Structures are given as structure tokens and as C-alpha cells.
Structure 1
Amino acid sequence: MGIFDKFKSQARNRGKQGSDTAEQKINEKTGGKYEDQVDTGQQRAEGTLGMDRDRDRDRPEQP
């Protein structure tokens, strides 16, 4: 794995953590009332930014 691949991986992981944290805080503030809408929005944002969880699960780790 090259140095740029490591940076890309680290940035993706930080982005997912930020996205998860934002989702959690929004659900706390709204009492979970809009949980489905927030989850859908998070998935769309991650997909647009190339952080699609389903795609990453299917992709094997690069040596």
C-alpha cells in the first residue's frame, strides 16, 4: 500500500466516524423521531462522497 493509499484510507475512516457521530447527535437531539430519514441522508451523503458502506464491505483489503 502506497503512502497516498494510507492517507485516503485514513481520511475515509475519519469521514465515517464524523458521519456516525453526526447521525448519533441528530438522533439524540430529535429523540430518534427522524431516525429513518437521518439514516437515509447519511447513506446518501456517504455514497456521494465515496464512503458507501455496502461497497466497502464487498471490497477485499488490499495487501
Structure 2
Amino acid sequence: MSMLDKLKSMLKGHEDTARKGIDKAGDAVDRKTGGKYSDKIDSAQQRLSDQMDKRQDGSDR
């Protein structure tokens, strides 16, 4: 089992908690960098959230 498969199985059923973690981590990085990379951080947070939505809907990509 690959690392990605392990992460997928761990997240199953805990999507809301994972989203909160993504938001908190992104906000912490944004604070540490003084907002210098806000647009990139926000983009990464959105892409991760979109991927989680796709997985939750049943598609694999």
C-alpha cells in the first residue's frame, strides 16, 4: 500500500477535520511568512479542498 493510499484511508470519514487542519496550517504559514505568499497559500488550500470534494463525490481524480 502506497503512502497516498494510506492517507486516503485515514481521511475517509474525517473530511471536515482535515479541512480545518488545511485552513489552520495555511493560516500559520501565512502568518510566519508575513503574508508574502498569501496568494500561493490560498491557492494551495483551495486546490486541496477541491481534491477532497472530488474524492468525497466518488471520483478518483
Q: TM-score range by the shorter chain?
A: 0.5 to 0.7
* Unaligned residue ranges in structure 2 (runs of 5+): 1-11, 55-61
Letter in 2 for 1:39: D
Structure possessing the higher relative contact order (Cα contacts under 8 Å, 6 or more residues apart): 1
2:53 is matched with 50
2:15 is matched with 12
TM-score computed with the length of structure 1 as normaliser: 0.59
* Unaligned residue ranges in structure 1 (runs of 5+): 1-6, 52-63
4+ residue runs over 4 A deviation:
none
TM-score computed with the length of structure 2 as normaliser: 0.61
Q: Percent of aligned positions with the same letter in both sequences? A: 33
Larger Rg: 1
Q: Per-residue deviation at 1:41?
A: 0.7
Query: RMSD of the alignment, in Å?
Result: 1.8
